[in-house]
Amino acid sequence: MNNIVIIGAGRLGTSLGFTLSKMGFSINGISCQTQKSAEESQKIIGDGMASTDHSFTAKLGNVLFITVPDDAIEKVALNLARSDVSWGEKYVFHCSGLLPSEVLSPLKNKGAKTASMHPIQSFHQKTPNPEAFKGIYFGCEGDESALSLAKNIINKLGSHFLVVPKKEKPSYHVACSMASNFFVVLLDIAASLLENIGLEKKMAFQTLIPLVEGTWRNVKGSSPSASLTGPIVRGDNKSVSLHLDALRKTTSYHEIYRTLAREALEIAKREQKIPAEKIAAIEILLGEK
């Protein structure tokens, strides 16, 4: 059961194939939209036959990882189901955090054991990080037999197995997206504000790194709510007022600040960090248009 193929070896597929290969699994095949991309991934992984034919690649292994973009998974599954591949002894996983395992139903109907197996990690380039899967969580759901194999693979990767209820996948996925994607958006906004006061782009980002790293250490050592600092949790309405004034020229940033400040205020209330009169003063400020 160690014969694996990767269908759609982009950033995630290549990283997964590379790490599985290092863990002793055989990567028998890699398929991509172009031969150049498939050969690039094969070279990085160091194993497997490169191809642009998904059906040919599917025949090379008993365990398939479909790591194409979310909007292509269903089409790939349908095309594979129409091929002459025998599916009775195969396990098929897709790696979407949003889509349920049902998108693989054409293959399940042909006898394959199917599940979704989503790594809660970001992959911004094909060049793999050997530590990318160490200690992370995989959100999974699907057939019991497929989940059993998924758990075994996840354990060998040094990762953690997490069952996600099928109907809750959108909530699960938006949580992951907010923690990763929107963190990047906020950092970009913060850096752009420093650029507006005259710092070069690279310097603006470098200036924020120690602050971000220190905050992350605090969060890891306790919890997000316990680690929250700043004028909101101090009840410093004068600082909040000055922040809002500084952002009035940039409407979108002003709205983002107000929205996040309200959430910070809710944390402060929950943690009982500031007196009621200061909460009321800040609420009035944040209610301004």
pLDDT digits (tens, 9 = 90+) for 215-256: 999 999 999 999 999 999 999 999 999 999 999 988 899 999
- Segment 167-214, tens digit of pLDDT: 999 999 999 999 999 999 999 999 999 999 999 999 999 999 999 999
Q: Where in the sequence of the chain do the CATH 3.40.50.720 domains occur?
A: 3-164
- Segment 266-289, tens digit of pLDDT: 998 888 768 889 999 999 999 854
Q: Give the per-residue pLDDT at 289.
A: 43
Is-above-0.85 flag for pTM? yes
> For domain 171-286, which CATH number applies: 1.20.140.10, 3.40.50.1100, 1.10.1040.20, 1.20.58.340?
1.10.1040.20
Query: CB–CB of 2/25 below 8 Å?
Result: yes
- Segment 100-112, tens digit of pLDDT: 999 999 999 999 9
Q: Indicate the residue type of 146.
A: A
Q: What is the mean pLDDT of the chain?
A: 95
Q: How many CB atoms lie within 10 A of CB 184?
A: 11
- Segment 10-33, tens digit of pLDDT: 999 999 999 999 999 999 999 999
What percent of the chain has a predicted confidence (pLDDT) above 70?
A: 99
Q: Where in the sequence of the chain do the CATH 1.10.1040.20 domains occur?
A: 171-286
Token representation of residue 25: 């699994």
Q: What distance in Å separates the CA atoms of residue 130 and residue 156, rounded to the nearest whole number?
A: 13
CATH architecture of the domain covering 3-164: 3-Layer(aba) Sandwich (3.40)
Per-residue pLDDT band for 129 (boundaries 50, 70, 90) equals confident
Nearest C-alpha neighbor of 3 from the set 65, 87, 88, 63: 63
Q: What is each CA distance from 110 to 82, 101, 105, 107, 261, in whole angstroms?
A: 10, 15, 8, 5, 52
